[in-house]
Amino acid sequence: MNEDLVSQEANEALKRIGSADIVVGIPSYNNGRTIGHVIAAAQAGLEKYFPQFRAVIVNSDGGSSDGTREAVLGAGVNKEQLLLLTTPLFPVHRLSFPYHGIPGKGSAFRLIFQMARQLGARACAVVDSDLRSITPEWIDLLVRPVLHAEFDFVGPYYHRHKYDGTITNSIVYPLTRALYGLRLRQPIGGDFGISRRLLWRYLSRNDWETDTARFGIDIWMSTIALAEGYRVCQSFLGAKLHDAKDPGLHLSDMLHQVVGSVFRLMQEYEPAWASSSGSQEVDLFGFRFGVGLDPIEVNTDRMIAAFRKGCEELGEIWSAALSRETFDSIRRIGSRNPASEEFHMDDDLWSQVVLDFALAYKRQPVERGHLLRSLTPLYLARVASFVYQTRLLGSNEVENRIENLCLSFEQKKPDLIRRWRSEPNTHRSAKAESVADAKLSLEV
Partner 1 sequence: MLDLLEQILKQAVERVSSQVLTYAPGLLAALFILAVTLLIARLVRWVLVKIIKGFAADRFLRRSGISSMIDQTGRLQTSQVVAKTAYWIVLVAGMLVALNSFNSSLSTRLTETVVFLFPKLLAAAAIIVVAAWIGRYFGRTTLVWAVNESLPWPRKLAVCVRAIFTFAGVVAAADHLDFARSVFLAAFIMVVGGMVLAGSLALGLSGREAIRRYLEEKKGTPRETIDDRPLWTHL
Do the bridges between strand 153-159 and strand 192-195 make them parallel or antiparallel, or are there none, so unpaired? Answer: antiparallel
CB of 339 to partner 1, least distance (A): 20
Nearer to partner 1 (CB atom), residue 245 or residue 336? 245
Least Å from the CB of residue 147 to partner 1: 28
Q: How far apart are CA 242 and CA 143, in angstroms?
A: 21
Torsion, Cα of 180, 183, 189, 190 (10° steps)? -50
- 57 near 24, Cβ under 8 Å? yes
Closest distance of CB 316 from partner 1, Å: 8
Distances (CA, A) of 356 to 75, 290, 326, 352, 365: 49, 37, 8, 6, 12
Q: How far is the CB of 158 from partner 1 (least distance, A)?
A: 12
Secondary-structure percent of the chain, ordered helix, strand, coil, rounded to 5: 55, 10, 35
Q: Which is nearer to partner 1, 122 or 242 (CB)?
A: 242
For residues 184 and 438, which CB has a smaller minimum distance to partner 1 in the complex?
184
Q: Which is nearer to partner 1, 123 or 405 (CB)?
A: 405
Give whichever of 119 and 217 is closer to partner 1, judged by the CB atom.
Answer: 217
CB of residue 36 to partner 1, shortest distance in Å: 22
CB of 361 to partner 1, least distance (A): 12
Cβ proximity to partner 1: between 252 and 323 the closer is 252
Helix (H, G, I), strand (E, B) or coil at 331: helix
Supply the minimum distance, in Å, between the C-beta of residue 176 and partner 1: 14
Which H or E run includes 430? Answer: helix 428-443
Choose between 277 and 299: whose C-beta lies nearer to partner 1: 299
Give long-range contacts, CB 8 A cutoff, 24+ apart: 99-104.
Answer: 99/5, 99/60, 99/61, 99/62, 100/5, 100/7, 101/5, 101/209, 101/213, 102/209, 102/213, 102/214, 103/29, 103/62, 103/63, 103/214, 104/62, 104/213, 104/214, 104/215, 104/217
Of 76 and 247, nearer to partner 1 (C-beta) is 247
Nearest distance in Å: CB 243, partner 1 = 9
Of the two residues 214 and 413, which places its CB atom closer to partner 1 in the complex? Answer: 214
Summarize as ranges the residues that interact with partner 1 (CB under 8 A): 161, 163-168, 188, 190, 215, 218, 244-245, 247, 250-252, 254-255, 258, 296-299, 302, 305-306, 309-310, 313-314, 317, 320, 363-367, 369-370, 373-374, 376-377, 424, 426
Specify whether the CB–CB gap between 386 and 170 falls below 8 A: yes
- Provide DSSP, 336-350: ----GGG----HHHH
Q: Tell me the closest approach of the beta carbon of residue 376 to partner 1, in angstroms.
A: 5
Task: Give the H or E element holding residue 382.
Answer: helix 376-390
CA 426 to CA 267: how far, in whole Å?
8
CB of 55 to partner 1, least distance (A): 28
Tell me the three state secondary structure of residue 107: helix
Give the C-alpha separation, 336 to 196, whole Å.
54
| Position 409, amino acid | F
Determine the 3-state secondary structure of 378 from DSSP. Answer: helix
The alpha carbon of 18 is separated from its chain's Cα centroid by a whole number of angstroms, namely 31
> Nearer to partner 1 by C-beta: 93 or 373?
373
